[in-house]
Amino acid sequence: MSMGSIWLGVVWVLQTITSKVREEKFSDRISLFCVSKNAVLITFVYLLPLIGLLWTEDTKHGIWDLRMKLPILFLPFVLLTLNKLNQHIYRLLMGVFLVSLIFAVTFCLFIYWQIIPKQYQDVREISVFISHIRFSLLLIVGLIICFYFAWKEKMGKILCVLLSIYFISFLILISSITGLIAFIVVLLWFLLYKLWCIQKVIFRIIALALPVLGLVLLAIFMKSNYSAYSSAPIIDWTALPKKTILGSDYNHHPQMPLVEDGQYVFIYLAEDEMKEAWKESSLLNPDSLDSRGNVLSGTLIRYLSSKGLRKDWSGVMQLNSDDVKNIEAGIADSRDPQKNQLRKRMDNILFELSVYHSNGNPSGHSVIQRLEFWRAGLGILKQNLWFGVGTGDTKTAFKAEYEKMQSALSPKYRLRAHNQYLTMFLTYGIIGGFYFLIVMLFPFFDKKRSTLTMTFAILSGLAMLSEDTLESQAGVMFYVVFAVVLEMVSSPNSTQSIK
């Protein structure tokens, strides 16, 4: 990414130097940038960290942040003032991007199928070029581009369908909830937008009612699934057996009512007896780690619960060789091998919710601990409402806030907001935060907007709800490059209409 940015900068300098030879005025190139209000607004975002440096205490981190966000300052200007792109070159550029995505997905699948040997613990680790979240967003952008340019052609329709099947199947394989939600939201928005454009009241009513109905149905679906997963029959804890068949004491933990898929986890627990029985079945010590890095005895307890077995000698003895291999591999659910990757990911999220409801500790649970991130971020914002904490002090402010609120999060999980909007508000205050919202919403009010730019605005805006997109180089490049390049469809920077 750095080399690509430098290369574009060098090309721009060479084109500027030779502009007189080609009888071009530099002022004309500047006007191409100024005409794009969206690009100008994005460029001015760089003023936020620049001004925020004035009241930061951690100047070193502030300077690093400025350097990391440099593409926001120069890329919109460079991209829009380079030599004009004609329709053929623009389409070729988009085609190269799609081909690169196809290659990247295929390469990742080769790793999954072990054609390319590489060890991984989590299937999401097969995304070796970039984080699986960012990769999933790139795949959705690729589909958006493909549909926009190819759908009107007969062979284009076939390409769109095949590419959709290939990319969405990969997103399901790596359990990318972010990517799948983004795809569904973008698809629904596009359909609703087309309905809204029909000049009939009934279609506009449908366009307004469908999102509300969809949200209600989604809420009902999630609630019913969570209730089924985390609910177990009411039992009389005092009436439970006190001894195992071999005479060991059972431990029942009503103070830890963790339920997984309808089964109590910390019930009928005779750990010493269970561990001795395990040693008869496996060479791995029950106090060692399984293949996923978790304490094996904990995995064993959850696995026995999923089979409805007691955590004692008799329960372990009912496990077969496949069960033992699953536990050693870190699989905590006996039905896990029969589930697809998406279902596994959904069950993991439900388990995170159940654990959080049981003990209030979200540590290590990627979805639930975001609630703690946001709680800390809101606490910081309340204390620094008008001007924020400044460009370089965000990390320090979060560390102090976690201590102040006595967070249950383990120190290694005490991260930043993972919400770009919240990050902008708590870092630069109300003025900076609202300016960023204006930038994100502007494509919907721009008279020169295209369906492509609005669709990307929805995708990037959605992504920023669950991550700090502009706090990493990959995130900055993703947003800035596509926000500008996709705008060229309706920009005077192209020599002819690109549709």
Q: pLDDT tens across 178-224, in order?
A: 888 888 888 888 777 777 777 777 777 777 777 778 778 878 877 87
- H-only helix segments in 69-131: 70-81, 87-112
Tokens of 85: 């792109």
The answer to whether residue 492 scores a pLDDT higher than 70 is: no
Q: Over the stretch 299-327, which tens digit does the pLDDT of each residue have?
A: 999 999 989 899 999 999 999 999 999 99
Closest Cα to residue 459, out of 130, 133, 76? 133
How long a stretch of residues is the chain?
499
Cα distances (Å, whole numbers) of residue 145 to 97, 197, 223, 314, 481: 10, 21, 35, 58, 14
pLDDT at 490: 57
Residue 438 sits in the same domain as residue 374: yes
Residue 106 pairs with which residues in a beta bridge?
none
Q: Which residues contact 324 (CB under 8 A, 6 or more apart)?
A: 281, 282
Residue showing tokens 């963790």: 258
Per the domain annotation, does 112 fall within a domain? no
Q: Confidence class of residue 494 from pLDDT cuts 50, 70 and 90?
A: very low
Per the domain annotation, does 421 fall within a domain? yes
Tokens of 421: 């909007």
Q: Which of residues 216 and 49 earns the better pLDDT score?
A: 49
pTM of the model: 0.83
CB 46 within 8 A of CB 72: yes
Closest Cα to residue 305, out of 279, 283, 336, 276? 336
Per the domain annotation, does 464 fall within a domain? no
Q: Over the stretch 117-152, which tens digit does the pLDDT of each residue have?
A: 988 878 888 999 998 889 999 999 999 999 888 888
CB 255 within 8 A of CB 287: no
Could you give the CA distance from residue 11 to residue 16 in angstroms, rounded to a whole number?
9
Q: What percent of the chain has pLDDT over 70?
A: 97
Q: For the chain, what is the domain count?
A: 2
Per the domain annotation, does 34 fall within a domain? yes
Q: How far apart, in Å, do the first and last CA atoms of the chain sit?
A: 28
Residue 330 sits in the same domain as residue 417: no
Per the domain annotation, does 106 fall within a domain? no
Average pLDDT, the chain: 86
Residue 22 sits in the same domain as residue 75: yes
Q: Which of 338, 355, 385 marks a domain boundary?
A: 338
Per the domain annotation, does 71 fall within a domain? yes
Could you give the CA distance from residue 466 to residue 177 in angstroms, rounded to a whole number?
11
Per the domain annotation, does 17 fall within a domain? yes
CA angle 332, 226, 211 (to 5 degrees): 130
The answer to whether residue 53 scores a pLDDT higher than 50 is: yes
Q: Over the stretch 323-358, which tens digit does the pLDDT of each residue have?
A: 999 999 888 888 887 777 777 777 788 887 777 777
Tokens of 108: 């990742």
CA angle 238, 242, 245 (to 5 degrees): 145
Per the domain annotation, does 400 fall within a domain? yes
Q: From the centroid of its chain, how far is CA 297?
A: 31
Residue 264 pairs with which residues in a beta bridge?
259
Q: Which of 401, 419, 445 marks a domain boundary?
A: 445
Residue 4 sits in the same domain as residue 71: yes
Provide the Cα torsion 339, 345, 349, 351; round to 10°.
Answer: 40
Residue 247 sits in the same domain as residue 308: yes
Range of 423's domain?
1-82+367-445
CB 497 within 8 A of CB 90: no
- For residue 24, give the DSSP letter: -
Q: Which of 415, 445, 475 marks a domain boundary?
A: 445
